[in-house]
Amino acid sequence: MAQSEISKPIHVILDGDNYSLWAQGMCGFLKGHKLWLYVTGQRHPPTQQNDETEDAFALRLEDWDGVNYQIITWLRNTSTPSVSMEFGGYDTAKDVWDMLASRYAGSDGAREHHLMVTLYQLRQDPGERITAFHSRMRFLWDQLAASEPVINQLLNRSHLPTVNQAVNDLVREETRLKSHRSSQPHTTVLATPVSVDPTVIVPPKGHDKRCSNKKNSHLICAFCKHRGHTIDQCNMRAHILQRSVALTASESVQVPSSSASNPTLSVTPGISSEWFLDSACCNHMTDNPHLTSAHTPLVLPTITTANGSAMTVSHVGSISTPNLSVSDVFCVPKLHLNLLSVGQLTELGLNLFFSSRGCLVQDSWTGQIVGTARKVGRLFELTSLHFPSSSVSASVIAASASIELWHSHLGHVSLPRIQTLVSRGLLGSVSSSPFDCMPCQLGKQPALPFNNSESIASATFDLIHSDVWGPSPVPTTQYSKAIKVFRSDNAREYRQTDFSTILKHYGTIFHTSCAGTSQQNGRAERKLRHILDTVRALTNAASTPVSFWGEAALTAVYTINRCPSPVVQNTTPYERLFGTAPNYSLLKVFGCVCFVLLQPHERTKLQPRSQLCCFLGYGLEEKGYRCYDPVAKRLRVSWHVVFWEHKMFYSLPSFSAGNDDSQADPLPNLFPEILSPSVESVNSISDESPSADPSSDVSPTTDPTFDESPLSAPAANPINTTAPEPRRSHRVSTLPSHLRDFHCFSAFATLHEPHTFCEASSDPLWQQAMKEKLDALLKTGTWDLIDLPTGKSAIGCKWVYKIKTRSDGTVDRYKARLVAKGFTQEYGIEYEETFAPVARLSSIRTLIAVSASRHWPLFQIDVKNAFLNGELTEEVYMQLPLGFSQPLGFSHKVCRLRRALYGLKQAPRAWFAKFSSTISQHGFSASSYDSALFFRRSDHGITLLLLYVDDMIITGDDVQGIQDLKRFLGQHFEMKDLGPLSYFLGLEVSSSSDGYYLTQAKYTSDLISRAGITDSKIVDTPIEYNNRLNTHDGEPLPDATLYRQLVGSLVYLTVTRPDISYAIHIVSQFMAAPRSLHYAAVFQILRYLKGTLFHGLHFSSQSSLTLQAYSDADWVGDPTDRRSTTGYCFLLGDSLISWRSKKQSDLGIDCSTAVPIHCDNRSAIQIAHNDVFHERTKHIEIDYHFVRHHLLQGTLQLRSVSSQDQLADIFTKPMPPGRFRDLISKLKLVSLHPT
């Protein structure tokens, strides 16, 4: 028979236990067919010879592969499926054979024991021939002879084994356990009380002699595992049974026979040197009262034994003997046995390995064996246990100074409050060793009490009591609750008209304390003092810079809310608010050393994986820890943090209080540090930060953003470091009154919007928002559930979450939007045209200006699910959205979209087509100047509607027409009437008797808060005078993302801030490759906005409707390409409605009346009026024809204006502060909160 026709060469099937028999058969078969060399590896795969052709080599390689895979097929066909599944990944017969040999040809003690037990239990079967029985026995003896017993090395390895080694060891252990279970005697031991004195468990004399009996050397005891006897002859077993009976008699407790294996019941009185491992014991326990470092717990725990009786703990201490060293040991006087808790050992980072020979205790950090235990019967008696000094875990440290650690965790809270938490079982075991806390003494020491004063003022107003508490909290942004009563003292700050008006508007009752009765507002005063005391204690203990007081205050409030308070019946404020106890395991020591895991993009493969930081508190919006990075000089919020709570960050030599580098800029910053452009600017900046001691050794900067120090100077002109320090002003600078609400505005910006469906699905508010959206989708018939047609693809979708706020920052609603992933659509198949007009921003300002001049009201209406009204003509399929509960059997369906969804390419166009066709039925026409502006004239007046996607502004003098329009839209679309216009596209609109104000205060506040410069210097102009930036100024930024984000946000701010248009025009030119000085210019703009937070456009009600325009251009102002910057602005009466700053611009105006254009260049006016051209004017010839055409028509008038009155100057060049303030005043850019 040919080899290829043989499917099973032998009849033995390898199942793991019969490897020797299988291997002998396969070895004989392969040798008989002269194929054994393929298995041993002596016949290697062929290699191509120098003179051999490719075809000949391919033929030889194919022959070798055929034989190789034929052998692998035989090995697979003679193995069970579970064994053959392990063949994957092996390409040669040698690799497969070696794997099987290493896995199933084990020669350790387990296999030897299995063979010996099999030989011991070997019996001749009835009717079996002597020769057959002898063959079976001889086969076992041969296997035993080939086996070399070794000690199980898996538990003693200091390094982890490979996967194959671990699998091999587990297979052998499984074999040993099966043989051990098969050899266990079914013997029941009865515990009978007898009067026998207990003794130490040791093998009796003569035990070893019995084991060495050569006559019975083939016998193995199943109890002690020694040779020479069986279990019924084992003296050690009999000795242990005697001892167990004696223990039962001494305790006078009748227990079942299995109690001998329960260490909680096997209590041995009088023995103090033996320690037994117990997995059912909650803590180390002993009756020995002589414990070192003994202390009494705040609350004495009660130990409950297996029979239900209770024992009390007298004190807690440590044990230190030549063979044992453990801490946190309970002294239980009624206990008569020393017990080591297995669970407590594992909490210390130790791994315990139990086997039939005993137990090994291994340090999981170093891999060292730190303890051993021998198996005595069914108990494990400890022989030694010592912790290496280099691997003492944090738990051991916590156990030795637990009350001090909890005192630091909880923000230096008082001891009675810790005792309250301990009594509730929230902190575990806490010792009561007395200690002194210097930070508490320094930060909380009160004045000594005075005697009760009985004196009375002799005259009225001789003595006045006053206090100020604030600022006011803003709870509605987090819990959506209204303030019902606001209580404060009688401070003037709360008596201002604006504040009282706000309280009345929201229906809040204003309670004040009586004059001279500060006790009526004592709760606020006491809590403020409590917070400040805690802040002082935290900063003193951690030695942090004073600039971190804000982080300390946040941490103080965080821990105070998690400590019991007598005001709320000794529960915690957190528990009263959320209904559940806080998790105290997350608390850490303020100011300690910590290590934050870096993101993959922040490091290379050879750089450290974490960054040394200082722990400053807990995440406000994220579930993580706030850590200060001294290198990047910014806060990191991360969950992946490792703490060294026994070390304070500012106690390290590199970051001590005397180190200037760590103190130069301790404030966290989210952006790279800015290089100063000149020495003068360096001096001005240094006035704001603490100056270094001239005699101190200043270390190089640790900022990784730039390679050179900003203070470096040429060698020819070295800076004199011994120069006297310039005089500093001691005048206390205060913010203007209109900036006092800045931090209140910042508080509104801390609302958290989820980024994923999993995050949103855990919040009931977002769950309700998603449910409402899905209900709306189903109500409008947005899709049909069908099977995906062949050849079609379904696009994906995702949820987008947005918190809609009002102009004052309060929450309007939580909006969840289902967005289709339209970027995967194919043009020509799933969409065609995509353009859809929206209202121009200049149209919005013009509409507001006209409404102010004519005293028209402005109304705002929002269309719910606007895009769902658009009907699709294309065939578009979408996957089922997350959270959609599809009917049974519909999980494989897709959505055939019938209506437009957000994200689809054609969705805006479909919605606009639907809206324009609908509103035209009501008599409205689209404006020829702005397709999103619709109007209707009637006998009663005019009605105008301006559409921006799904937001509308309605105005006009036809009051009845406005009401009819609202009613008509409500019949065709699902509308939401928002009342008078107040907040539109991030623009805040406020009205008064003198007109409308258009601002972006909230947007500006949010931008400044994100930039992290709320405490930076305030400047007078957005760009320095005569500051001409070019593409090569400064050093390149390593990451331009932050620069682009800031500039992009500032561009939208120009909608209401023409004063920063030129500055934004300049910094926008360097988006591709920004440099350090460009970044400094961006911060200049932000500092200017910080001082003009509430500036905005004023549309006067006294303004006329005369259109005026100003234009100007600088002369080759760009130093890079020598091109001019053109600027223009349009005013409707006194109201600024349009402006621009650009290198190239065009002017396209078409109106029924002449528009005067003011220009300060007489040559330009003369060229426009006269038909004179030459070579130098050809570049303006095209624009000239356009302007001249309108001059001849009379629609334009060119007027000369002096440079002092040229309003367009602000859009073409930097201005000094005085000139800049004059121009923005003429442009009607005013502040809503003038100083």
Strand, coil or helix: 296: coil
Give the pair of three-digit tokens for residue 541: 């203990």
Does residue 204 have a pLDDT over 70? no
- Domain check: are 857 and 975 in the same one? yes
Place of tokens 């609202």: 966
| Domain boundary pick from 985, 1018, 1040 | 985
Question: Among 799, 954, 958, 781, which residue's Cα sits nearest to residue 882?
Answer: 799
Q: What is the pLDDT of residue 197?
A: 38
Which residues have C-beta within 8 Å of that of residue 693, sequence separation ≥ 6? 660
Strand, coil or helix: 150: coil
- Domain check: are 658 and 765 in the same one? no
Q: What is the pLDDT of residue 807?
A: 65
Q: How far apart are CA 147 and CA 935, in angstroms?
A: 100
Q: How far apart are CA 1089 and CA 1080, in angstroms?
A: 14
Q: What is the pLDDT of residue 625?
A: 92
CATH of the domain at 357: 2.40.70
Count of beta carbons in the 10 Å neighbourhood of residue 217: 11
Q: How far apart are CA 855 and CA 993, in angstroms?
A: 9
* Mean predicted confidence (pLDDT) in 1101-1118: 83
Beta bridge partners of 94: none
Q: Is residue 1130 a part of any domain in this protein?
A: no
Question: Among 237, 246, 240, which residue's Cα sits nearest to residue 193?
Answer: 246
* pLDDT digit string, tens, across residues 1048-1076: 999 999 999 999 999 998 898 888 888 88
Count structural domains, the chain: 4
- Cite the DSSP H helix spans in 517-596: 522-542, 549-560, 573-578
Q: What is the pLDDT of residue 151?
A: 37
Does residue 305 have a pLDDT over 70? yes
Phi, psi dihedral angles at 353 (to 5 degrees) = -115, 115
CA 597 to chain centre: 12
Q: How far apart are CA 55 and CA 750, in angstroms?
A: 74
Cβ(626)–Cβ(616) under 8 Å? yes
* pLDDT digit string, tens, across residues 865-879: 888 888 888 889 998
Q: What is the pLDDT of residue 177?
A: 60
Q: What does the mean pLDDT of the chain come to?
A: 74
Q: How far apart are CA 1209 and CA 1025, in angstroms?
A: 13
Q: What is the pLDDT of residue 1183?
A: 60
Most trustworthy range by pLDDT among 372-386, 673-687, 1173-1187: 372-386
Q: What is the pLDDT of residue 158?
A: 44
Q: Is residue 484 a part of any domain in this protein?
A: no
Phi, psi dihedral angles at 101 (to 5 degrees) = -65, -40
Does residue 169 have a pLDDT over 60? yes
Does residue 457 have a pLDDT over 80? no
Q: What is the pLDDT of residue 747?
A: 45
Cβ(331)–Cβ(289) under 8 Å? yes
Strands 951-956 and 858-863: antiparallel
Place of tokens 């705040």: 298
Handedness of CA 365, 367, 368, 373 (dihedral sign): positive
Q: What is the pLDDT of residue 1099?
A: 92
| Domain boundary pick from 927, 952, 985 | 985
Q: Is residue 363 a part of any domain in this protein?
A: yes
Max Cα distance, the chain (Å)? 136
Instruction: Provide the Cα torsion 1021, 1026, 1029, 1035; round to 10°.
Output: -80
- Domain check: are 150 and 278 in the same one? no
- Cite the DSSP H helix spans in 904-1030: 907-920, 959-972, 1001-1011
Give 338-362 as a 3 state SS string.
EEEEHHHHHHCCEEEEECCCEEEEE
Give the pair of three-digit tokens for residue 1002: 């909230």
Phi, psi dihedral angles at 183 (to 5 degrees) = -100, 0
Most trustworthy range by pLDDT among 76-80, 271-275, 285-289, 1161-1165: 76-80
- Domain check: are 660 and 787 in the same one? no
Element (H, E) at 643: strand 641-648
Top-confidence residue, 589 or 1010: 589
Phi, psi dihedral angles at 538 (to 5 degrees) = -65, -50
Q: Is residue 778 a part of any domain in this protein?
A: yes
Handedness of CA 874, 880, 882, 886 (dihedral sign): positive
Count of beta carbons in the 10 Å neighbourhood of residue 1096: 24
Count of beta carbons in the 10 Å neighbourhood of residue 706: 18
Q: What is the pLDDT of residue 45?
A: 87
Does residue 545 have a pLDDT over 70? yes
Give the pair of three-digit tokens for residue 568: 């709320």
Give the pair of three-digit tokens for residue 742: 């800045």
Q: Is residue 1065 a part of any domain in this protein?
A: no
- Domain check: are 278 and 368 in the same one? yes
Does residue 3 have a pLDDT over 70? no
Q: How far apart are CA 127 and CA 1149, in angstroms?
A: 119
Q: What is the pLDDT of residue 693?
A: 39
Count of beta carbons in the 10 Å neighbourhood of residue 1042: 17
Q: pTM of the full predicted structure?
A: 0.43
Strand, coil or helix: 317: strand
Does residue 954 have a pLDDT over 90? yes
- pLDDT category of residue 209 using cuts at 50, 70 and 90: very low
Top-confidence residue, 1012 or 292: 1012
Question: Among 957, 862, 969, which residue's Cα sits nearest to residue 922?
Answer: 969
* Mean predicted confidence (pLDDT) in 995-1010: 88
Question: Among 471, 469, 472, 494, which residue's Cα sits nearest to residue 483?
Answer: 472
- Cite the DSSP H helix spans in 1040-1103: 1041-1053, 1061-1067, 1076-1091
Top-confidence residue, 587 or 264: 587
| DSSP-assigned letter for residue 11 | S
Does residue 688 have a pLDDT over 50? no
| Domain boundary pick from 610, 644, 670 | 670
Top-confidence residue, 451 or 428: 428
Phi, psi dihedral angles at 1056 (to 5 degrees) = -120, 0
Q: How far apart are CA 775 and CA 782, in angstroms?
A: 10
Element (H, E) at 1098: strand 1095-1100
Q: Is residue 1055 a part of any domain in this protein?
A: no
Structural domain harbouring 662: 591-670
Residue type for 237, please? R
Most trustworthy range by pLDDT among 83-97, 404-418, 944-958, 1159-1173: 944-958
Q: How far apart are CA 1066 and CA 1075, in angstroms?
A: 13
Q: Is residue 1209 a part of any domain in this protein?
A: no
Q: Worst-scoring range by mean pLDDT, 86-95, 224-233, 634-643, 960-969?
A: 224-233
Count of beta carbons in the 10 Å neighbourhood of residue 364: 13
Q: What is the pLDDT of residue 1124?
A: 80
Does residue 467 have a pLDDT over 60? no
- Domain check: are 753 and 648 in the same one? no
* Mean predicted confidence (pLDDT) in 606-622: 87
Q: How far apart are CA 570 and CA 583, in angstroms?
A: 17
Does residue 89 have a pLDDT over 60? yes
Q: How far apart are CA 1045 and CA 1042, in angstroms?
A: 5
* pLDDT digit string, tens, across residues 271-294: 356 888 988 888 888 888 776 666
* Mean predicted confidence (pLDDT) in 90-119: 75
User: E strands, 231-281, where?
Assistant: 275-278
Q: Worst-scoring range by mean pLDDT, 250-254, 494-498, 607-611, 1047-1051?
A: 250-254
- Domain check: are 275 and 173 in the same one? no
Instruction: Provide the Cα torsion 30, 36, 41, 46; round to 10°.
Output: -90
Q: How far apart are CA 916 and CA 926, in angstroms?
A: 8
Q: What is the pLDDT of residue 465?
A: 45
- pLDDT category of residue 4 using cuts at 50, 70 and 90: low
Q: How far apart are CA 823 and CA 624, in angstroms?
A: 34
Q: What is the pLDDT of residue 492?
A: 60
Q: What is the pLDDT of residue 848?
A: 93
- Domain check: are 32 and 149 in the same one? yes
User: Residues of the chain with pLDDT > 70: what percent?
Assistant: 66
Count of beta carbons in the 10 Å neighbourhood of residue 675: 21
Most trustworthy range by pLDDT among 151-160, 174-183, 292-301, 1197-1206: 1197-1206
Top-confidence residue, 205 or 402: 402
Q: What is the C-alpha radius of gyration for the chain, rounded to an integer number of angstroms?
A: 43
Q: Is residue 578 a part of any domain in this protein?
A: no
Cβ(404)–Cβ(435) under 8 Å? yes
Q: How far, CA to CA in Å, does 1152 sit from each of 668, 925, 1070, 1132?
A: 58, 20, 41, 14
User: Residues of the chain with pLDDT > 90: what percent?
Assistant: 10
Element (H, E) at 1139: strand 1135-1142
* pLDDT digit string, tens, across residues 675-684: 333 333 333 3
Does residue 1172 have a pLDDT over 90? no
Q: How far apart are CA 259 and CA 273, in angstroms?
A: 22
| DSSP-assigned letter for residue 493 | G
* Mean predicted confidence (pLDDT) in 131-151: 67
* pLDDT digit string, tens, across residues 564-599: 888 888 888 888 888 888 888 888 999 999 999 988
Count of beta carbons in the 10 Å neighbourhood of residue 789: 11
Cβ(900)–Cβ(782) under 8 Å? no
- Domain check: are 891 and 752 in the same one? yes
